[in-house]
Amino acid sequence: MPPTTQKLAPPTPGAPAPLPTARRGRSTGTRDLPAWGFLAPAIVLFVVFMALPIGYAAYLSLRTVKVSGLGLGSGARTESWAGLSNYSRALSDPEFLASVGRVGLYGLLLVPTMIVLALLFALLLDSRGARAKGFSRISIFLPYAVPAVISSLLWGFLYLPAVSPFYYVFEKLGWDAPSLLSSNLVLFAIANIALWGGVGFNMIVIYTSLKAIPTDIYEAARIDGANERTIALRIKVPIVTPSLIMTFVFSMIATLQVFAEPTTLRPLTNTISTTWSPLMKVYRDAFTRDDLYSAAATSIIIAAATFILSFGFLRLVQSRAFSQEK
């Protein structure tokens, strides 16, 4: 039998001719160059200021210094391989475990309160009867723009009975107000500073999500007889749940990394130790005791715990959402 020949369909009139394969490949690579050019500064900054320091900290966490004699002569201090001994020492350190417990209580107090207040303010600003929205939005967000050190100093002077105007008023009224910098209340004092500064950021994130909801949904709900409270609880809150999850994760990460507030308040009271939070212990070990290797191991543990908690919480939320969809 004669071999069959395949006939190609004639090109459609007016359609552009297909480019050759090699030419299409070169064109795609050329189009990717501007994208990589825009990404290059971010990639370089990430590698230089994030990846390399993390890698160097991980390297230091596996090293130690051996001191011979009095450690004064040349060669008396030699660096050697330590393995996981720095990690085991950090995890068994009572000061580190106590700081983790304090930060855990701090997070249980701060994060839910912050998210609830941010959601409440966002719902109030998004309600139909709200007035002076621009001024209110800026007033709530403005504390977030104040650096943590400055806000801690401001609140610290308000906490001191000798200089605080509040304690002066309480004294004139004959009220015996407790000191917020005492050992029993210093946790609430530190959480109040973070709450004052963090609510505004979370409110803006949730409020932006609320503004993205189509108004037709609200109008349909009002036609069905729903009031503003029902709309907020049954429509707005479920729709902005992804934003609530994101703000919760960000707040949890910030809680594990608390440092500026207790460090700034520490000179004002003797109830805050140098190891009040895990990062304060890292700072003390690295710059006061000159033990960079133990500080590096502790910082790696904190970073790993932050990643595990954040990733675990997101996986839990995703698994529950997937099971509800099924």
58-85 mean pLDDT: 74
Reported as a single tens digit per residue, the pLDDT across 245-280 is 989 988 998 998 899 999 999 999 999 999 999 999
Q: Is the dihedral of CA 210, 213, 215, 218 positive or negative?
A: negative
pLDDT average, residue stretch 178-207: 92
Backbone φ and ψ for 67, nearest 5 degrees, come out as -110, 125
Predicted confidence (pLDDT) at residue 288 exceeds the cutoff of 80: yes
Residue 64 has pLDDT above 60, yes or no: yes
Amino acid found at 208:
T
Instruction: Please answer whether residues 57 and 300 qualify as being in contact, where contact means their C-beta atoms are separated by less than 8 angstroms.
Output: yes
Is the confidence at residue 319, as pLDDT, over 70? Answer: yes
- pLDDT bin (cut points 50, 70, 90) of residue 88 is very high
Q: What is the pLDDT of residue 16?
A: 55
Q: Rounded CA gap, 231 and 235, in Å?
A: 5
Confidence of residue 37 (pLDDT cuts 50, 70, 90): confident
**Residue 63 DSSP SS3:** strand
pLDDT of the residue at 14: 53
Please report which confidence band the pLDDT of residue 152 belongs to, taking 50, 70 and 90 as the band edges.
very high
Whole-number pLDDT of residue 22: 47
Nearest in space to 292 (alpha carbons), one of 73, 56, 71, 51: 56
What lies within 8 Å, CB to CB, of 160 at 6+ separation is 167, 181, 268
Does the structural domain 94-325 have CATH classification 3.60.9.10? Answer: no
Q: What average pLDDT score do residues 100-109 get?
A: 94
pTM across the whole model: 0.81
* Average pLDDT score over residue span 123-148: 88
Where are the domains positioned within the chain?
94-325
User: Among 134-148, 164-178, 203-217, 267-281, whose mean pLDDT is lowest?
Assistant: 164-178
